Amino acid sequence: AQSVTQLDSQVPVFEEAPVELRCNYSSSVSVYLFWYVQYPNQGLQLLLKYLSGSTLVKGINGFEAEFNKSQTSFHLRKPSVHISDTAEYFCAVSDRSGNTPLVFGKGTRLSVIA
């Protein structure tokens, strides 16, 4: 079974500053990794995903994440945040067989301060 740990429940950051949201996973098999964003009162929107290939994945809204197999991490980064990036961010993992469902972390609330 897979599990996901998002190391920070809340991350406050000033506008135009860089941000990193940390995610570590545990799995005995090869996985797919995802980051979703949830804006207030909305559903989850896919930011980016790692399926295979390059370990640096670029997503929407200027976000990127790096898959590190040795450290079992998939940290999300953005070089310069905007007020509109204020939201809840979820890291998720699934195995490649499709036999187990998507497992989510508990989320990180990113608050961008003007």
Partner 1 sequence: DSGVTQTPKHLITATGQRVTLRCSPRSGDLSVYWYQQSLDQGLQFLIQYYNGEERAKGNILERFSAQQFPDLHSELNLSSLELGDSALYFCASSPHTTDTQYFGPGTRLTVL
Q: Find how far residue 15's CA is from the centre of its chain.
A: 19
- 5-44 binders of partner 1 (CB under 8 A): 32, 34, 36, 42-44
DSSP-H helix ranges across the chain: none
Q: Residue from 90, 93, 110, 112 that binds partner 1 (CB under 8 A)?
A: 90
Cβ-contact 113, 12 below 8 angstroms = yes
Q: Residue from 13, 103, 110, 112 that binds partner 1 (CB under 8 A)?
A: 103
Of residues 70 and 97, the one with the C-beta less far from partner 1: 97
Closest CA to 74 of 83, 65, 86, 82: 65
As measured in angstroms, the least distance from the Cβ of 31 to partner 1 is: 11
